[in-house]
Structure 1
Amino acid sequence: MSERSTELDQAAFDSLLPTAQMNRRGFVTTLAAAGFALAVQPVQASTVITTDASGLDAGSATVKASGSELPVYYARPAQGEKLPVVLVVQEIFGVHEHIRDVCRRLAKQGYLAIAPELFFRQGDPTKLENVADILSSIVSKVPDAQVMADLDACAEWAVTRGGDAARLAITGFCWGGRITWLYAAHNPKLKAGVAWYGRLDGAPSDNQPKQPIDVAANLNAPVLGLYGGQDQGIPLDDVEAMREAIKAAGKPGDIIVYPDAPHAFHADYRPSFRKTEAEDGWKRLLEWFSKNV
C-alpha cells in the first residue's frame, strides 16, 4: 500500500469514531465479542449479512505449511465429495467474522472455502488498534513468496477435506485482492479468481518484488476485478492500465468499476459498505466461478 493510501485509510477511520452513546472500551469489547479485529474499529456494531452454519461443516483447523502449523477457517457442505475449492484471502485485519461469513456464504453455494491466517508468523492484527500499526509492524513484513506457499498448502489440504484439486479458485479483499492477482500468476492449476479492490501497482520491495500490473501477462486463469470509482487508494488510471495489460497479453479476464463505490464496498461491517454494488459483485463472483471452475 502506498504512503498516500495508508494516510487516507487512517484518516477515513479516524473520522468515524464511536459516538458518545458507547464509550471506546465498550465499543471495542463489543467488536471483540463479535470476532472482529480491534484494528477495524470504528465500524458498524454488526454485519449486514449473517450466514449460519446449518447444513455445513465449518470451523477452525491447521494446515502444515513450510514447517509451520497455519491456522485456517473453513466451511463446506456437510455432505459431498469432490467439491470445488475457493481460497478466501483476508484484508489486512486478518480472518475475522466477516471473512468467516464469506466462507459460509460460499459453502452454502456448494464450495469448500478456506481462509488462512496469512499473517500468523509476523503478528496478530487483532491485537493492534490502528491501520498504520498493522501496516508497519505486520503487513510490510509478510513476503509474497510466503503467502504463495501458504495458499498452495491450503489447496493441497483441501483435498483431504473433500475438495477437488482440479477445481480451484481464489477470491480476496483489499490486501487479499492484490494477492488474488499474484496467485493467479503463480499457480498453473488455478481455474478462476475474483479480486475485490486489490492494489494493482506500487513500488517494489524485498517482500513485495512485483505488483499485479507486473504479472498481467503471466495469469494462468481468468480473473475478475471489482473496483470502486471513488476508491481514494487505488487510482482509476491503475485500473485502466491493468485492463489494458490483460488485453494486450491476450489473457481472459474482466474488470468492473462501480462509479459511485468507495474502497471496501463489500465489507458489510464497515461504513464503506454499499449494498447495491456488493450484491452485484457477489452475483458476478458466483457467475464467474460457475463458468470457470
Structure 2
Amino acid sequence: MKDTSKSIPQEAFDWYDSYAHCGMGRRTFIAKLGSLVALGYSMSVLTSALLPNYALAEQVSFNDDDIKATYVQFDSPLGHGKGRGYLVEPTNVQLTNKEGLLPVVLVVHENRGLNPYIEDVARRLAKAGYIALAPDALFPLGGYPGNDDEGRQMQSTLDRTKIEQDFVAAAEFLKANPRSNGKLGAVGFCFGGYIVNYLAAVKPDLLQAGVPFYGTPAAKALRAEIKAPLLIQLAELDERVNATWAEYEQDLVAAKVPYTMHMYDKANHGFHNDSTARFDEANAELAWKRTLAFFEKHIQ
C-alpha cells in the first residue's frame, strides 16, 4: 500500500483545497479520495494527512515564560457588536525605546475560525518581540468549535461584510493598545490573507505592513487606496489564488504600492500550516523568516 503522506498525489491536495473553500461538498471529497483507494492508497492515511492534526502545530507553548497569553474582547459597532481575540504579549524582550513600546501584529485565521495553529502563530510573533492579536470571526456564534469542518460551516453562515468590519475593529483595538508603538502589521492565511489585503485597501492609514499568505485581493475598486508595503506569499501549486495575481499586481503597480511577491516552488495552498501534509517545512521556514524581516523593517 502507498501509505505515506509523501506519496499522496497532487490531485488529492487539489480536491482538499476545493473542499476547504466550499467548492466541493464533503461527500464528493470523500468519494474522490475513494477513487484513490481503488488505486492502492490507504483512506486512513489520506484523510489523516489532509485533515489537520493540531497536536503537530505547536511550536511555542502557551506556558512559555517569554510570553503572556489571554483572551480579550473589543467593540465592533459596524460588525457583530463585539469581538474576541487571543492576545499574546512578550514578557522578556529588550526594548529599543525608552517609552517601553512595542510593535503590534494582527494575525488572521483561515475560513474556519481561530484554531490552534493560528494561536500558535500569534505566540511565535510574541516570542519574536511583537504584541500579537488573533481574533476569532466565530465569536458571534460561540467561537471556534474545536474542529475545522464545523468551523468552516459556521463561518460560511456569517455576514461577510460584518466579519470584515470585525477585523477592522480588531486592528484598531490592537493599534490603540497602551503598549503599542503605533505601528501595526498584519499577517493572514488564506481567508486571512484576503483580510490583510482588505485592511490595506479599506483603511489605508491603519496598516503599516501587510503579509498575506495565499490570499485573494480586496475588491478592485478599493485597491487604488493601498499605501502599506506588502509582502505577498504565494504557493506555486495554488492555481485558484494564483489566478488573481496578475491583475492584482497591475493594480499595485498602478497605485505605486511597495510590494514584494515570493512564489514558493512546488508548494501547495496552506504550505505554512504545519498541522497537515500540505506543510512544506523548508518553504514555511523561509516564508516566516521573510515575514519577520519584513516586520522588523517596517514596524519595529
**Structure 2 Cα separation of the partners of residues 171 and 179 of structure 1:** 9
**Structure 2 Cα separation of the partners of residues 150 and 98 of structure 1:** 18
**Structure 2 Cα separation of the partners of residues 44 and 127 of structure 1:** 11
**Structure 2 Cα separation of the partners of residues 161 and 13 of structure 1:** 52
**1:158 CA drift (Å):** 5.2
C-alpha distance after superposition, 1:116-155 (max 9, x if no partner): 112322564526663xx65555335333354234433443
Contact 1:4 1:233 in 2 (8 A): no
Question: 1:111 corresponds to which residue?
Answer: 130
Aligned counterpart in structure 1 of residue 279 of structure 2, from 267, 273, 276? 273
**1:216 CA drift (Å):** 2.4
Question: 1:224 corresponds to which residue?
Answer: 231
Contact 1:44 1:271 in 2 (8 A): no
**1:6 CA drift (Å):** 2.9
1:238 aligns with 2:244: yes
**1:281 CA drift (Å):** 0.7
**Structure 2 Cα separation of the partners of residues 129 and 2 of structure 1:** 14
**Structure 2 Cα separation of the partners of residues 169 and 59 of structure 1:** 20
1:177 aligns with 2:193: yes
* Distance of aligned partners of 1:9 and 1:167 in 2 relative to their CA distance in 1, 3 Å threshold: farther
**1:99 CA drift (Å):** 0.7
Q: Structure 1: any 5+ residue segments left out of the alignment? A: 28-39, 201-210
**Structure 2 Cα separation of the partners of residues 143 and 73 of structure 1:** 21
**Structure 1 Cα separation of the partners of residues 180 and 134 of structure 2:** 14
**Greater Rg over alpha carbons, structure:** 2
Contact 1:243 1:254 in 2 (8 A): no
**Structure 1 Cα separation of the partners of residues 283 and 253 of structure 2:** 25
* Distance of aligned partners of 1:214 and 1:135 in 2 relative to their CA distance in 1, 3 Å threshold: farther
SS of 1:50 mapped into structure 2? coil
The aligned amino acid for 1:196 is: F
Alpha-carbon RMSD across the aligned residues, in angstroms, is: 3.3
- Percent identity between the two aligned chains: 26
**1:247 CA drift (Å):** 1.1
The aligned amino acid for 1:183 is: L
1:282 aligns with 2:291: no
| Number of positions where the alignment pairs a residue of Structure 1 with one of Structure 2 | 262
* Distance of aligned partners of 1:109 and 1:129 in 2 relative to their CA distance in 1, 3 Å threshold: closer
**1:93 CA drift (Å):** 2.0
SS of 1:70 mapped into structure 2? strand
Question: 1:37 corresponds to which residue?
Answer: none
**1:173 CA drift (Å):** 0.5
Question: 1:51 corresponds to which residue?
Answer: 60
- Pairs within 5 Å for 1:21-40: none
Aligned counterpart in structure 2 of residue 78 of structure 1, from 91, 94, 119? 91
**1:157 CA drift (Å):** 4.6
Aligned counterpart in structure 2 of residue 251 of structure 1, from 257, 265, 269? 257
Question: 2:118 corresponds to which residue?
Answer: 99
1:260 aligns with 2:266: yes
The aligned amino acid for 1:151 is: V
Question: 1:162 corresponds to which residue?
Answer: 179
Question: 1:215 corresponds to which residue?
Answer: 222
Give TM-score scaled by structure 2 length. 0.75
**Structure 2 Cα separation of the partners of residues 47 and 242 of structure 1:** 34
Give TM-score scaled by structure 1 length. 0.77
**Structure 1 Cα separation of the partners of residues 86 and 272 of structure 2:** 20
Question: 1:204 corresponds to which residue?
Answer: none
C-alpha distance after superposition, 1:39-70 (max 9, x if no partner): x9722363255212221111222223327442
Question: 2:8 corresponds to which residue?
Answer: none
The aligned amino acid for 2:250 is: E
Question: 1:65 corresponds to which residue?
Answer: 76
The aligned amino acid for 1:225 is: I
Deviation >6 Å, runs of 4+: 1-4
My pick for the range that moved more, 177-186 or 92-101, is 92-101
Contact 2:172 2:206 in 1 (8 A): no
